[in-house]
Structures are given as C-alpha cells and as structure tokens.
Amino acid sequence: AGLVEQLTTLGFEVKDTGDVDVPLPEECEVGDPKQKYAQDIAEVCKDLKERTVSVLKEGYRPVILGGDHSLAMGSISGVSQFYREQEKAAGLIWFDAHADMNTPETTPSGNIHGMPLAVCLGRGPAALVELSGQAPIVSPENAVLLGVRSVDAEERRLVKEIGLQVFTMREIDMLGIHEVMKRAIEIATRGTAGFHLSFDLDGTDPSVAPGVGTPVPGGTTWRESHLVMEHA
C-alpha cells in the first residue's frame, strides 16, 4: 500500500525487516481442537517477539501489519520483554470489535484468534502465555479493551473476573473517541514505560473497512479510527 514511501514523506526513517514466515494450514497439524494450530502459532509469535525486541533495541518504533490478530501475542510479548529487561512495564490498548478473551476451556470454535487478549493477560495455552518469559505478559491493571461490541458470555465472565477496563461503542458514542482515548492512555501508561496499541481493523465499521474476516456493524467511523491512531 506504499506505507514505507508515505512514512518517509512524513519525515520518518523507515526500515522494512521483511515478512515473518508463516506456514500454510495444510503444512501444519491441527492438534487439540480446542486450541487449533497452537504450537505453530506459538512458533510464529516467538519469531515476531524476537524481531520486535531487536527493532526496539535498535531505537526504532515497531509497526507490525498482519492478517490475523493472533500475531499480536508475539509483538506484545516483544514489547513486554524489552521493557522488563530494563525493569520497566508496558501497557496495552486493544482496539477490537471482539473481546478476544476466550480460552481453550470456553472457546466455541477452537480458533486461537479468539484468545489473544486472554493470553496476554495470563489465561490460555502455556506455550502462548509464557511467550515473553513471564505471565501475564501485560498486567490487567494496565490493559484496556476498546471499541468492543461482540462478546461471548464466557468472555464477559472472564473480563469481570480479571478486572479488565472496557470501553464499548456505547462509551465511545456517549463520551467521544477523544475522551475515551485519553482515559485509555491514562490506564495503559499508569506506572509503565509506554504501551502497545493493537488495532484490529474490524473495530472500524464494516462500511469503512469491509475486508475483514468477522465484520460487526456499529463500529467506529473513518475519522474516529484515525483519531485512535493519532492519539497513540
């Protein structure tokens, strides 16, 4: 999409580290039907974690583009590990239409892409939960779920149990995206060195971004979505 050229035009020095190698499903074993392809996903996320740590050590700000939100477990693990080695912590803002808070015990599909936020907060397959070398990868008190409007009953229970701060589309409608982002950043930066923003395109309304796997009506507008990124 010409991202490197556009960022360069804005005055940024850009280094493209290339693609992360991701095996095709037909090359992998499904494994446990309650956590499909968990081992292969863990290997991909480990690779991405190591790349993220390396980029941060070089003084760059990592920007990761992926087609499946499971990858966020790798990038968040990298950010967490980088700051933990400096005896610091990292926060997390998770922008998504879905809660992504299922576990192998609660998942209706067995798809890992419905579990990554739960994994980051310490719940899920051990191979994923321990990616950063500690669990939880991010402390729930410094994590925020933003833009959500499709939540399973068991996900709702776990969100309450963990004490995760949530801003649904109702809060965005009532308070405005500017105020919601101010509050989210305050939570994610409270006692941390900074935060990781994980932006799932399906948080945006399908009328703006139809090319997603699980579209949910009632998401943010074009400008609201931009403002999320501008605040970050």
In contact, 155 and 123? CB cutoff 8 Å: no
DSSP 3-state of 87: coil
Nearest to 217 by CA among 159, 146, 169: 169
- The position carrying tokens 């941060």 is 56
In contact, 218 and 149? CB cutoff 8 Å: yes
pLDDT in tens, 218-231: 999 999 999 999 99
What does the pLDDT average to over 144-159? Answer: 97
Please report the sign of the dihedral spanned by the C-alpha atoms of residue 167, residue 169, residue 171, residue 172.
positive
In contact, 119 and 125? CB cutoff 8 Å: yes
What does the pLDDT average to over 127-141? Answer: 93
What does the pLDDT average to over 56-69? Answer: 94
* Banded model confidence at residue 232, pLDDT cuts 50, 70, 90: confident
What tokens were used for 173? 């409608």
* Banded model confidence at residue 78, pLDDT cuts 50, 70, 90: very high
| Total Cβ atoms within 10 A of residue 129 | 22
**DSSP element (H, E) containing 145:** strand 143-148
- Which residues contact residue 207 at a Cβ distance below 8 angstroms, ignoring those fewer than 6 apart? none
Report percent pLDDT > 90 for the chain.
94
Q: What are the beta bridge partners of residue 74?
A: none
Q: What strands lie across the sheet with 143-148, from one edge to the other?
A: 165-168, 143-148, 91-95, 195-199
- Which residues contact residue 169 at a Cβ distance below 8 angstroms, ignoring those fewer than 6 apart? 147, 148, 149, 218, 219, 220
As a whole number of angstroms, the distance between CA 55 and CA 30 comes to 32
pLDDT in tens, 208-217: 999 999 999 9
Angle at 75 between CA 155 and CA 130, to 5 degrees: 65
Length of the chain: 232
Q: What are the beta bridge partners of residue 196?
A: 92
pTM over 0.75? The answer is yes
* Banded model confidence at residue 67, pLDDT cuts 50, 70, 90: confident
